[in-house]
Structure formats: C-alpha cells, structure tokens
Amino acid sequence: MGELLRANTLTHLTYFRRSRLLLAFGLVFLLLASLGLLPAIFANSRVASFDSLKEIFATFNQFLIFFAAGLGLLVMSSHLSNRSLKMVFTKPCRPPLWLASAFLASALVSLLLTGFVLFFAVALSFLWHVPVRAGLVFISLDTFLACMAMSAYFIFLATFLHPAIAVAFALIFNASLFYYLRILVHNALHAAGKGVVLKSLEHVFQVLYLMVPMSRAFESKTGSIYSSFRVPAHDWIYLLYSLGYTLAISGLFYLLALFFLQRKRFT
Amino acid sequence: MHFRRGWVGPKIRALDGMNLEVRDGDFFALVGQNGAGKSTAMYCLLGLLRPTSGKIEVMGRTPELGAPLYSSVAFLPEEPHYHLYLTVEEATRYYSSLYGERVPVKAVDDILERLGLGAFKKLPLAKCSKGMKQKVGIAQCLIRETRLLFLDEPTRGLDPIIVREFREILRELHKRGATIVMNSHVLSEIEMLANRVAILEKGKVIAQDDLHNLMTLDQDLYAVALESNGSVPDYLTVTERQGSTVRGRIPKAQLFEFMDYARQTGLRVLECSLQRASLEDSFVRILKGDAPDEKKDI
C-alpha cells in the first residue's frame, strides 16, 4: 500500500509539474502581482511598507487558495477526460487509494507554495525593516488549511461535472449565497410565525453554508490577526478549529468524490 | 451477462445474454464485427463496467475496480488511454509499480530495449506515435509474470517486426501457463495463436468452440487431388490443374460416389481430406447463419 501511495502521489506531482495550464495560471498571476508590487517599492515609511506587505501577503494567499482549487480540479478532470484511470484500476490499486494520493499530492503542492509565500513575506519584512510577526505563520497555516479544503471541494466537483461547469458552480453556489438564503428564509420564518417547509429550508441552507469551503472559516475571530500580524496566545486555538473544520470538510468531499468515482464507467 | 447503456432515448443492449467460459490455460479469442460487444465484454470481465444483470467471475472472484485479483492480471487497452504527461520510461515504471512493488530500473530498461523503445525512454507519451504508445502498453503487460492477460486489439498500429516478436512472446507466455483473452479483428493472427474462439454478434455469443473445430467441422467439402487424363466427375469443382494433377473440391455427400468412380476408372487419388476452412471462412459462414446448428457450441 505504501508503494502504491508513493507511486500515485509522485505521478500526480509530475502531472502538476508538467501541466501547462497550471503554469500559465501561476505566471499570469505573478505578472499581475508584480505590477501591484511596484508602488510598494516606492514606499518611504515603515507604516506604508507594513501596509504594502499586508496587501502583498493577502493577495498571494488568495492566489494560493485559487491555485489549490485549480490543482484539485485539474488532477481529477484530466485523468477522467483522458480515460487513463482504466490503467490504474485494472491493477491492484483501489479507487480510495488513488483518490487519497490525489488529495495528498494537492496538499503537498499547496504546502510547498505556502512555504514559498511565507518565505517571501519574511524576506520582504527584512528588506523593508518591518518586524517579523507570528501572524505571518498563523496566516500561512490558516491559508494552507483553506487550500486543502478548497482542493478537496474541487476534486469532488470534478468527479461529476465538466471543469468549466464546476468552476461556474463553485462561483455561483458559494458560502455567501447560502448564508444570504438562510437569512432570507429565517426572516420569512420570523414574519410567518411558523412553517415546516421554511424551517426545513433554513436547515438545508445552514448545512450547505457549512459544507461549502470558506477561505477563512473563523474570520470574525481572527480578523485582527490578519490586520496586525499579532497573535494573542489564546487565538492560536482558532488554528486548531480550522484544522478540525478542514479535516471534516476534506473527509466529507473525499467520501463524496469516492462515491461518484466508483460509479463511473471506465471505458 | 447483460449490459445496457443509455439513460435518455433508446437503450443499447451492448451485451445480451452473453455466456462465456474461459478455461485456465486457454488462449481465448473474441471475434466479431465492429460493435458486436467484444470490448464491452472485456471491460465487464475487467470490472471496468458492471453488467446490468448477470454474473462474472474471474479466477473465482467478482472483478471490481483495483481488486487484489489484479495482482496476477495484465490488461492492454485498445485505445492508448495512458498518462500522456509521463515519459515512456516513467509510464512503464508507474504502471508496473501499481502492482505494489518497486520495479528495478534494469527490468524497465530491458523490456523497453526488447520492444525497441530504448532510444525513446525520455519521450513524453503525448509525443509518441500510436504504435509507440501501444508498445508501452505491451511493456507494462510483459514486465512481470502474469497468470491472466486481457488484450484488446493488441497489434493495432504495430510494425510487422514487433507484431512478429509480440506473437512469439504471447506464445511463450501461453506455453508457460498464462491464460490469455484477446479481442482482435485480425483473424489470421487468431488462427496462429488462439486455441478457443468465441464469435460475437449484437452482444451475443453465436459460436464458441475450439479453434480446430471451428476451422474444420463447418465444412461440407472434401479437398481432393488426383491424376487424371482429362475427364473428371461433374461434381468435382476443379481449382487447380498442373500437368496431369488435378486439385479440386467435392461435396461431402458425393464422397462415396467419388470413391466408386475412382475404383472403376482406376484414377490415382493423391489426396482426399476434409477441407480445412480458414477462420475467416468460418466466421463469415457463422455470421451469415450458414453453419449447421450443431457447430454452434454456445
């Protein structure tokens, strides 16, 4: 089993390394981010430098989450569209293992890129004489967890949707939409007094809201860390909550993706 | 076994009451026209498709995706649906390592050299010709000892030299005890390799027998060669004359009449044997429904 996991994970990593689509996405983003960096070079105060660093760090972390979604989407859709999985599943390699290797490879790439972004942020802090704060590590770890959840979500979507439709689906049916719908139903329920349908709908929207991965699951609690890069000792616990949320979401999407994958016809 | 596909619109019965039995040690060939259900049958045998109804057992177990029974099974698909981002060497190593053991570099090098891919080891599969991709598929089938091989149109797109060598390899594997199930349109190839054949039409097995039986028993003709001074009986269809030697065919019903004729006229009979049909002849006759019912051993 170890050898199978190793072989599949290495093959996925090779895929990521050679995917021109991912490379193009990365390069275009870097180009745009570099243009955004230009004003920061001319910053002449520590406060301005800190604001620039915050902006750059946030932009790169947002990019990482998009990139992780791309990793998940492409690793699944490319193998399904070129029908190469029949070569895997006619060997003693079960779908759960292959899927786990896809999750693992996406997580490894996300971890590597998060490390790069963190290193870059620390380097910029030194360069601009901005104090290096623990918040950078906190945000990086939080971003990595969000990347894992997002990649799991897109792996799941790609098992039954065309990649373009999967992207559109994710953009339309996002957490904000379900939150808004839940509030709407809640208000309607409040006005009507009672209603089984409305009550059920509220629960459905609540579940969907929780199911759709969020980039910052505990935003209301960790907002100050993102703005000041300072982490009060008691706030590290939110990282643990994030980990729990990510593991739950990833586990759910792993099982759902497996369900769809095993019902596919590999011809 | 039945397999139906399609949700909306007319449903297609790709397999309709198919009943196949492959014995241990067989070199079993599935033949049929395009769309007869050969590949679908193979996908069902490999667990890549689940039959709508019916039962499949491979080596006593129901095939499922990635099941442990595949540790002694190899599969060569008809279309080169491989991991195109990998190089020839990487793909061979990857597919081999999916059996759960790391493959020695030398084993990969040896098989690639043997199949003439040594110089193309670093070439991505996306840039390989169809024949080269097929060779990669063959390499992953042959790199380890397997008990059961599924080959879907294995020689399609291969050059004649490799076809010949591949045939030899298959003969060797079969001799060592491997069971081989092969789909092919190349009937001459099946004649050379297989010992049992099933003929499929519209998802049904319309004939299943030993190759030898399929090639001889359907014939109602005797091939004869005789020395004649010119006159031959009317029912003898002459196919060749060479000096005084005449070769031809006589219907089975006229065999004894011919013997009497030969005795009475003192004809020298050089050869008289049941005419051996090619698999192609048998295939065409069975598909046209000309074969006698007792020859269709389903």
Which residue range forms the structural domain that includes residue B260? 220-275
Which residues partner with A112 through β-bridges? Answer: none
What pLDDT, on the 0 to 100 scale, is given for residue B295?
47
How many structural domains is chain B composed of?
A: 2
Which residues of chain B have a CB within 8 Å of the CB of A97? 66
Q: Are both B189 and B257 inside the same structural domain?
A: no
Task: Name the stretches of chain B with pLDDT < 70.
Answer: 1-12, 14, 216-219, 290-298
CATH number of the domain within which B149 lies: 3.40.50.300
* Angle at B31 (CA atoms; ends B25, B34), nearest 5 degrees: 145
- pLDDT at residue A32 is higher than 50: yes
Q: Are both B49 and B103 inside the same structural domain?
A: yes
Q: Are both B105 and B242 inside the same structural domain?
A: no
| Structural domain contains residue B245 | yes
Inter-chain touch B43–A262, beta carbons under 8 Å: no
What pLDDT, on the 0 to 100 scale, is given for residue A72?
94
Residue A189 makes CB contacts below 8 A (sequence gap 6+) with: A195, A198, A199, A202
pTM: 0.82
Q: Are both B232 and B120 inside the same structural domain?
A: no
Where in chain B does DSSP place strands (E)? 3-5, 12-15, 27-32, 73-76, 148-152, 179-183, 196-201, 204-210, 221-227, 237-242, 245-251, 268-274
| Structural domain contains residue B292 | no
Inter-chain touch B70–A92, beta carbons under 8 Å: yes
| Structural domain contains residue B170 | yes
Q: Are both B159 and B263 inside the same structural domain?
A: no
> Is residue B40 within 8 angstroms of chain A, CB to CB?
yes
Give the phi and the psi of residue B196 in degrees, each rounded to 5: -135, 145
- pLDDT at residue A43 is higher than 80: no
CATH number of the domain within which B224 lies: 3.30.70
A85, two tokens? 């999985």
A26-35, A181-190, B171-180, B257-266: the lowest-pLDDT one: A26-35
| Structural domain contains residue B283 | no
Inter-chain touch B97–A87, beta carbons under 8 Å: no
Nearest to B81 among A11, A83, A92 (CB): A83
Inter-chain touch A88–B70, beta carbons under 8 Å: no
Inter-chain touch B84–A92, beta carbons under 8 Å: no
Q: Are both B142 and B186 inside the same structural domain?
A: yes
What pLDDT, on the 0 to 100 scale, is given for residue B131?
81
What pLDDT, on the 0 to 100 scale, is given for residue B294?
45
How far apart (Å, rounded) are the C-alpha atoms in residues B59 and A39?
69
How far apart (Å, rounded) are the C-alpha atoms in residues B6 and A55?
52
What pLDDT, on the 0 to 100 scale, is given for residue A41?
67
- 10 Å CB burial of residue A158 (0-12, 13-18, 19+) is buried
First-to-last alpha carbon distance for chain B, in angstroms, is: 14
Nearest to B83 among A1, A4, A11 (CB): A11
What pLDDT, on the 0 to 100 scale, is given for residue A229?
83
How far apart (Å, rounded) are the C-alpha atoms in residues B157 and B131?
5
Which residues partner with B58 through β-bridges? Answer: B61
- ipTM > 0.90? no
What pLDDT, on the 0 to 100 scale, is given for residue B298?
43
Q: Please say which residue of B188, B214, B240 terminates a domain.
A: B214
Give the phi and the psi of residue B294 in degrees, each rounded to 5: -65, -15
| Structural domain contains residue B150 | yes
- pLDDT at residue A139 is higher than 90: yes
Inter-chain touch B81–A84, beta carbons under 8 Å: yes
By residue count, chain B amounts to 298
Q: Are both B56 and B182 inside the same structural domain?
A: yes
Q: Are both B151 and B235 inside the same structural domain?
A: no
By residue count, chain A amounts to 267
Q: Are both B142 and B245 inside the same structural domain?
A: no
Quickly state the pLDDT bin for A251 (edges 50, 70, 90).
very high
Inter-chain touch A90–B75, beta carbons under 8 Å: yes
Give the phi and the psi of residue B205 in degrees, each rounded to 5: -85, 115
Q: Residue A10 — left, alpha, or beta (φ > 0 → left; ψ -120 to 50 → alpha)?
A: alpha
What pLDDT, on the 0 to 100 scale, is given for residue B5?
62
- As a whole number, the mean pLDDT across chain A is 88
> Is residue B47 within 8 angstroms of chain A, CB to CB?
yes
Mind listing the pLDDT tens digit for each residue in A77-105? 999 998 989 899 999 999 999 999 999 99
| Structural domain contains residue B260 | yes
What pLDDT, on the 0 to 100 scale, is given for residue B176?
85
Quickly state the pLDDT bin for A74 (edges 50, 70, 90).
very high
What pLDDT, on the 0 to 100 scale, is given for residue A34?
78
Quickly state the pLDDT bin for A12 (edges 50, 70, 90).
very high
What pLDDT, on the 0 to 100 scale, is given for residue A44?
66
For testing the chain B interface, which of A93, A263, A267 should be mutated: the one with the most B CBs within 10 Å?
Answer: A267
Residue the block writes with tokens 């497996």: A258
> Is residue B68 within 8 angstroms of chain A, CB to CB?
yes
For testing the chain B interface, which of A85, A87, A99 should be mutated: the one with the most B CBs within 10 Å?
Answer: A87
Residue the block writes with tokens 């498709």: B49
What pLDDT, on the 0 to 100 scale, is given for residue A199?
85
Question: Domain segments of chain A: what residues?
Answer: 2-174+212-262
Q: Are both B196 and B229 inside the same structural domain?
A: no
Q: Are both B208 and B225 inside the same structural domain?
A: no
How far apart (Å, rounded) are the C-alpha atoms in residues A213 and A205?
14
Q: Are B96 and B81 in contact (CB under 8 A)?
A: no
